[in-house]
Amino acid sequence: MARASVELVNVSYWYPGSSKPALRDINLKIGRGEFVVITGPTGAGKTTLAYILNGTIPHFIKGGRLEGKIIVDGVNTKENPIPIIAQKVGLVFDDPEIQAFGLTVWDTVVFGPCNLGLPLSEVKRRARFALESTMLLGYERRNPIELSGGEKQRVAIAGALSMLPSILVFDEATAMLDPIGRSQVYEVAKYLNEKHRITIIMITQILGEVAELADRIIVLNNGEIVEEGETNEILSNYNVIREASLRPPQIIEFFYKLKSNGVLELNTIPASILEAKKLLKKILNSTPKPIALPHKRRLKFEEPLIIVEDVHYVYPSGQTALRGVSLRISEGEFIGVIGQNGSGKTTLAKHLNGLLKPSRGRVIVGGVDTRNTSVSKLARIVGYVYQNPDIMLFKPTVWEEIAFGPRNLGLSDGEVDKRVREAIRALGLEGYEEKPPSSLPRGLRKRVALASILSMKPKVIIADEPNVGQDWVESLMVMEALKEANRRGTTIMVITHDVELIAMFAERIIVMVDGKIIADASTREVFTNKSILEEASLKLPQITMLFEDQGFHPITVSEALEIVEYCRGEPRGSRI
């Protein structure tokens, strides 16, 4: 390994007032110029480790107990102030609004270089490089408040890039970006790593996208390093990934299940799509006949619950967000809305509960025109879970937060208690009932926000990026909670970038680009149409890419396993 860029020796940390360490006996060396991924479930200690690396702990978050030695690029973080550490370590947080603090995008991006005392020409050069790398050229005079969540995250990344630090830490920094946007950030990180020898520490739970980037993967759980190794070694270990509540890449899950069910013998499970395609061709062993996989058809009713007719919307700033959107939504549907950041997904959703009123066109909800109806009245029909949960949370305890809506509906105390307990159980919030929502991690706050809507049992629930901040187990729990509500007749609309997850649950997919709907069809029709997804800055599910050369189009791992059964002439379910 090259000379250490990061060295941690016996590092443990206790937050103020906590008897349990957030990190325990961490020993870690990261070589200069390495590209390392740190992963693990929610609460594993990943963000705490990031705070220790950039000096936030102990210089900003004070009162805790920090033990051990922390050296970053030759600087002892315990003995040096943040201004010195900041020139060594750049940190991009998981919450973009923490770092998008300037009145304009330009102000935010140049803030760091200006504080280094660099010449104006150098500040401008760095800022332009950072803006171009994050696809923000042309946004310089925009106010970050007006940007979408993903655009705000790119501003935060640009602010870190403009510093050109020797170590760059991404703390779930791509969580709010669409897949193409994430790929571009990864490319920038790799470029900085290869050309400038910047040490990259990528904290993420999206493992399938880092296989060809990272030199090493470090797995944290319960504040400890539980696994560490080369990227392919970790990614191909299905059990390690699942035990850490992480999502295995689809090709890893697919080949692991083939192996564990005796369909084939494998010494090493392929971690890259190219290796996987070669192996799949051998498994199928012949030119297969097409197999008709079922479309998940949307439910049809004579009278739609929601009608959107030729809706246009222009924000007060003059930005056009919707351009002639029309659709009909029936009772009992489960719909996914996908598209790149800024495509109009959230703007459309806010029209469905009256938070926004059309500049032109109309929206009919339950037979009522939203232009003539109050938001409070529409909220009884359409429950909206914001992308940022902090907009919704205001009560002193989790219990009171979830009970607020049902109480406002005039329900009895017994019915309120029943609904609160159901929502808490569905979203894994047991033990948090008396906690202040504001004290919880972002992922838990999002689940509290969703629980507060579930407890009201509206006819429609719109969830905007509900899986951000959740590990894989928690993501499945959130989606299962929504699916259970859907089984009871609730119409569900999920806004997401996660095509692989939404493919497992949605019956219908709406694709948006530049304020327009470019596709509205069954889940299979959309997720097997490469040109539509590319136009929306999205990618095919990994399992779909694996099979595309073989004439098949599965959109989930379970469908891919059925295809192997079919090609091998086995009765469905005989092995898998």
The whole-number pLDDT of residue 469 equals: 82
Top-ranked range on mean pLDDT: pick from 187-196, 432-441, 453-462: 453-462
Q: Which pLDDT score, from 0 to 100, does residue 574 have?
A: 40
Residue 290: per-residue pLDDT: 56
% pLDDT > 70, the chain: 94
pLDDT greater than 90 at residue 284: no
Alpha-carbon span 470 to 477, nearest angstrom: 9
* Average pLDDT score over residue span 352-376: 94
Q: Which of 92-106, 246-260, 425-439, 545-559 has the lowest mean pLDDT?
A: 92-106
Residues 472, 208: contact at Cβ < 8 Å? Answer: no
User: From the CB of residue 372, how many other CB atoms can be counted at a distance below 10 Å?
Assistant: 9
> What tens digit of pLDDT does each residue of 82-135 get?
888 988 999 988 777 777 778 899 999 999 899 888 899 999 999 998 898 888
Task: Give mean pLDDT, residues 322-331.
Answer: 96
Alpha helices in 54-147 (DSSP H): 56-59, 82-85, 105-115, 120-133
Closest CA to 381 of 370, 394, 393, 395: 370
Q: Examine the pLDDT at 573 and tell me if it is beyond 50.
A: no
pLDDT value at residue 93: 81
Write down all domains in the chain, each with its CATH number in brackets: 4-237 (3.40.50.300), 250-293+552-567 (no CATH), 306-541 (3.40.50.300)
Token pair of 384, please? 């909206």
Q: Which of 251, 297, 286 is nearest to 566 (CA)?
A: 286
> CA–CA separation, 213 vs 209, rounded Å?
8
Average pLDDT, the chain: 89
Task: Flag whether pLDDT at 572 surpasses 70.
Answer: no
- Please give the pLDDT value at position 340: 86
Lowest-confidence range among 37-46, 120-129, 153-162? Answer: 153-162
Q: Looking at residue 292, what is its pLDDT?
A: 61
Local confidence band at 289 (pLDDT 50, 70, 90 cut-offs) = low
Confidence of residue 575 (pLDDT cuts 50, 70, 90): very low
β-pairing, 65-72 vs 4-14, is antiparallel
- Single out the residue of 561, 450, 555 nearest to residue 509, CA to CA: 555
Q: Of the ranges 84-93, 350-359, 514-523, which one carries the lowest mean pLDDT score?
A: 84-93
Instruction: Give the global pTM.
Output: 0.85
Under 8 Å between Cβ of 197 and 190: no
pLDDT at 334: 97
Peptide bond connecting 58 to the previous residue in cis, omega within 30 degrees of 0: yes
pLDDT exceeds cutoff 80 at 547: yes
Q: For residue range 215-237, list pLDDT tens digits in order.
A: 999 999 999 999 999 988 898 88
pLDDT at 30: 96
CB atoms near residue 124 (< 10 Å): 14
H helices of 352-438, in order, are 375-378, 398-408, 413-426
Q: Is the model more confident about 10 or about 232?
A: 10
